[in-house]
Structure 1
Amino acid sequence: MIMYVRFNSSHGFPLEVEEGASVAELMEAVGRLRGAQPDQLRVIFAGRELHSDATLQACDLPEQSTVHVVLAPPTLVLQRTLRGSMDSLTRLDLSASRLPATSIGLAAVLEGDAPAAEDTPTRTELKPHSSFYVFCKTVCRAIQPGKLRVRCIACKQGTLTLSRGPSCWDDVLLPGRIHGVCQAQGCDGRTAEFYLKCAAHPTCEEDTSVALDLIMPNVRRVPCIACTDVLSPVLVSQCAQRHVICLDCFHLYCVTRLDERQFIHDPAVGYSLPCAAGCPDSLIKDVHHFRVLGDEQYERYQRYAAEECLLKMGGVLCPAPGCGAGLLPEQDQRRIQCERRVGLGCGFVFCRDCMEEYHEGECRRRTAMPAGGAPQGYVLDEGAALRARWEQASLETIDETTRPCPKCRVPVEKNGGCMHMVCPRAQCKFEWCWLCRMEWNRDCMGNHWFG
Structure 2
Amino acid sequence: MSDAVTIILQDRKTGQRRNLSIKVNKEVNIAELAKNVERLTQIPSDELEVVFCGKKLSKSTVMKDLSLTPATQLMFLRSNNNSKLSTKAPIEQRLQTDSSILGSFYVWCKTCDGVKRGKLRVYCQNCSSTSVLVKSEPQNWIDVLKSKRIPVTCEDCCLPDLFAEFKFKCLTCNDLAAALTHVRGNWQLEECCVCDGKEKIVFDLGCNHISCQDCFKDYLLSTLDNFNFINKPPYGFTISCPYPGCNRVVQDVHHFHLMGQSSYSDYQRKATERLIAIDDEGVTCPNVSCGQSFFWEPYDDDGRSQCPDCFYTFCRKCTEKDCVCQSDDDLTRTTIDATTRRCPNCNVATERNGGCSHIHCTSCGLDWCFKCVTEWKEECQWDHWF
TM-score computed with the length of structure 2 as normaliser: 0.64
- Contact 2:105/2:118, CA 8 A, preserved across alignment: yes
1:295 pairs, out of 261, 267, 270, with 261
- Contact 1:152/1:160, CA 8 A, preserved across alignment: yes
Deviations 1:338-387, CA, capped at 9 Å, x for gaps: 96x6751678999979xxxx9xx999x9995999999x9xxxxxxxxxxx
2:198 pairs, out of 221, 224, 230, with 230
2:27 pairs, out of 20, 23, 33, with 20
- Contact 1:135/1:144, CA 8 A, preserved across alignment: yes
AA aligned opposite 1:2: D
DSSP-derived class of the 1:258 partner: helix
What's 2:270 paired with? 304
Instruction: Give the superposition deviation at 1:311.
Output: 0.8
What's 2:72 paired with? 66
AA aligned opposite 2:83: V
- Contact 1:3/1:15, CA 8 A, preserved across alignment: yes
- Contact 2:119/2:171, CA 8 A, preserved across alignment: no
Instruction: Give the superposition deviation at 1:260.
Output: 0.6
- Does structure 1 residue 282 correspond to structure 2 residue 253? no
- Does structure 1 residue 131 correspond to structure 2 residue 98? no
State the alpha-carbon separation in 1 of the partners of residues 18 and 232 from structure 2.
Answer: 45
- Residues 136 and 14 (structure 1), Cα distance of their counterparts in 2 relative to 1, 3 Å cut: farther
Instruction: Give the superposition deviation at 1:4.
Output: 3.9
Identity fraction in percent: 25
Deviations 1:114-135, CA, capped at 9 Å, x for gaps: xxxxxxxxxxxx9666832222
DSSP-derived class of the 2:223 partner: helix
- Residues 294 and 67 (structure 1), Cα distance of their counterparts in 2 relative to 1, 3 Å cut: same
- Residues 252 and 61 (structure 1), Cα distance of their counterparts in 2 relative to 1, 3 Å cut: closer
- Contact 1:325/1:338, CA 8 A, preserved across alignment: no
Instruction: Give the superposition deviation at 1:264.
Output: 2.1
- Residues 91 and 202 (structure 1), Cα distance of their counterparts in 2 relative to 1, 3 Å cut: farther
- Contact 1:3/1:66, CA 8 A, preserved across alignment: no
- Contact 1:316/1:327, CA 8 A, preserved across alignment: yes
What's 1:266 paired with? 232
2:132 pairs, out of 160, 177, 192, with 160
DSSP-derived class of the 1:17 partner: strand
1:88 pairs, out of 82, 90, 95, with 90
- Does structure 1 residue 142 correspond to structure 2 residue 114? yes
Instruction: Give the superposition deviation at 1:211.
Output: 1.9
- Contact 2:51/2:77, CA 8 A, preserved across alignment: no
Counting only pairs closer than 5 Å after superposition, residues 83-232 of structure 1 correspond to structure 2 as 86-94=88-96, 131-137=104-110, 139-162=111-134, 165-175=137-147, 178-179=150-151, 181-182=153-154, 184-185=155-156, 187=158, 193=164, 195-201=166-172, 203=174, 207-232=175-200
- Contact 1:146/1:196, CA 8 A, preserved across alignment: no
More strand by share: 2
State the alpha-carbon separation in 1 of the partners of residues 216 and 268 from structure 2.
Answer: 18
State the alpha-carbon separation in 1 of the partners of residues 278 and 35 from structure 2.
Answer: 64
DSSP-derived class of the 1:303 partner: helix
State the alpha-carbon separation in 2 of the partners of residues 91 and 313 from structure 1.
Answer: 43
TM-score computed with the length of structure 1 as normaliser: 0.56
**Structure 1: unaligned runs, 5 residues or longer:** 97-125, 377-451
State the alpha-carbon separation in 1 of the partners of residues 295 and 91 from structure 2.
Answer: 49
The number of residue pairs the alignment matches comes to 324
Instruction: Give the superposition deviation at 1:148.
Output: 2.3
- Contact 1:316/1:328, CA 8 A, preserved across alignment: yes
State the alpha-carbon separation in 2 of the partners of residues 329 and 281 from structure 1.
Answer: 34
- Contact 1:338/1:345, CA 8 A, preserved across alignment: no
State the alpha-carbon separation in 2 of the partners of residues 61 and 320 from structure 1.
Answer: 53
What's 1:46 paired with? 53
State the alpha-carbon separation in 1 of the partners of residues 90 and 221 from structure 2.
Answer: 38
DSSP-derived class of the 1:216 partner: strand
- Contact 1:327/1:338, CA 8 A, preserved across alignment: no
- Contact 1:5/1:14, CA 8 A, preserved across alignment: yes
Counting only pairs closer than 5 Å after superposition, residues 344-355 of structure 1 correspond to structure 2 as 344=310
**Structure 2: unaligned runs, 5 residues or longer:** 11-16, 325-330, 340-350, 363-386
Q: RMSD value over aligned CA atoms?
A: 4.7
What's 2:63 paired with? 57
Counting only pairs closer than 5 Å after superposition, residues 358-377 of structure 1 correspond to structure 2 as none
Instruction: Give the superposition deviation at 1:215.
Output: 1.3
AA aligned opposite 1:87: A
State the alpha-carbon separation in 2 of the partners of residues 194 and 50 from structure 1.
Answer: 19
State the alpha-carbon separation in 2 of the partners of residues 243 and 2 from structure 1.
Answer: 42
DSSP-derived class of the 1:193 partner: strand
- Residues 95 and 306 (structure 1), Cα distance of their counterparts in 2 relative to 1, 3 Å cut: farther
- Contact 1:87/1:165, CA 8 A, preserved across alignment: no
DSSP-derived class of the 2:222 partner: helix
Instruction: Give the superposition deviation at 1:197.
Output: 2.2
Instruction: Give the superposition deviation at 1:254.
Output: 1.3
- Contact 1:135/1:291, CA 8 A, preserved across alignment: yes
